[in-house]
């Protein structure tokens, strides 16, 4: 399969490298890593074993990539105002688009430009960070849950899940993409936000009892908002939140992406992870006051650093 990667950061580089290693024809849209990768290839440092790809199909413009069978979008949502122009040159008559971006609103943006029938979404439970140019560090996890934007299980979603599994990436096809998106937000909203605001990693946050209680409260607010969205099956708040707490307790001093972005004075993905979920919850009569306050504090920091 000919695959184009739009957004070759920690997520795009890792998944793209795994797919290429499994034999897929992968093409990366590269920015800051272009020269390094052209010269030295791509180095993946992984908890499952390091590997090096000496030859990478790297491109500086989407026009150089041309049409593909599958577009995988890993672009930070802060750059979504460029997304349609980046994806358009890759679209052929049968091209599918899979967005693995954070938060809500990404599938809607792509569907409005290219049609609902092309669009799938996925949530990636991946612990990875960028290293020096031409390197990516995979620290743990990596599972993907993907589904059709239009809903329901499809032969296409099953085939894409198998494509990832053949590349040693755990992947499931789901019938309710909206539920999967909100489940990811149950982790992203508290841990990304608090780590960026406090400058503390996930282990530090959970080791501070009042902060751990706050994480649990934030998770339950997200779940209340999720369960009002007409999901196929509601999320069990107490059970699911404790599963995520236990999961995070094994992520030894992991630094979420938003913490790194704040440290590097980069803009945060506030609209997709906070603003749109808050709007969707309010639209069905659910108030999330603690999340609203967390969003306000994060946004204040953005304006302060501007």
List residues with catalytic annotation. 184
User: Across-strand partners of 146?
Assistant: 122, 173
Residues 6+ apart with CB under 8 A from 131: 43, 45, 137
Residues 6+ apart with CB under 8 A from 112: none
Other CB atoms within 10 A of residue 85 CB:
10
Determine contact, residues 182/231, Cβ cutoff 8 Å: yes
Angle, helices 276-283/209-227, rounded to nearest 10 degrees: 50
Burial of 232 (0-12, 13-18, 19+ CB in 10 A): exposed
Classified as helix, coil or strand, 288 is: coil
The torsion region of residue 280 among left (phi > 0), alpha (psi -120 to 50) and beta comes to alpha
The torsion region of residue 170 among left (phi > 0), alpha (psi -120 to 50) and beta comes to beta
First-to-last alpha carbon distance for the chain, in angstroms, is: 42
């Amino acid at each position: 399969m000919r695959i184009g990667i739009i957004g070759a950061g920690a997520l795009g580089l890792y998944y793209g490298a795994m797919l290429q290693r499994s034999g897929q024809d992968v093409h990366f849209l590269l920015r800051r890593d272009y020269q390094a990768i052209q010269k030295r290839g791509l180095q993946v440092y992984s908890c499952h074993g390091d590997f090096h790809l000496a030859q990478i199909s790297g491109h500086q413009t989407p026009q150089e990539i041309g049409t593909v069978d599958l577009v995988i979008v890993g672009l930070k949502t802060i750059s979504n105002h460029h997304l349609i122009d980046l994806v358009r040159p890759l679209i052929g008559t049968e091209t599918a688009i899979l967005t693995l971006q954070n938060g809500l609103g990404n599938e809607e943006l792509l569907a409005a430009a290219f049609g609902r029938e092309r669009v799938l979404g996925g949530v990636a439970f991946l612990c990875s960070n960028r290293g020096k140019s031409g390197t990516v560090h995979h620290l743990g996890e990596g599972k993907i849950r993907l589904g059709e934007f239009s809903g329901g299980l499809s032969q296409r979603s099953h085939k894409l899940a198998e494509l990832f599994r053949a590349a040693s990436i755990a992947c499931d096809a789901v019938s309710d993409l909206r539920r999967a998106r909100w489940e990811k937000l149950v982790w992203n909203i508290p841990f990304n936000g608090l780590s960026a605001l406090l400058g503390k990693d996930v282990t530090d946050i959970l080791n501070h009892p009042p902060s751990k209680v706050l994480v649990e409260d934030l998770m339950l607010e997200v779940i209340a908002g999720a369960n009002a969205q007409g999901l196929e099956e509601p999320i069990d708040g107490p059970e699911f939140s404790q599963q995520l707490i236990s999961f995070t307790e094994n992520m030894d001093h992991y630094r979420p992406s938003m913490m790194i972005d704040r440290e590097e004075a980069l803009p945060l993905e506030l609209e997709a992870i906070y603003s749109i979920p808050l709007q969707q919850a309010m639209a069905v009569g659910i108030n999330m006051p603690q999340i609203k306050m967390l969003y306000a504090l994060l946004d204040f920091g953005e304006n302060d650093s501007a």
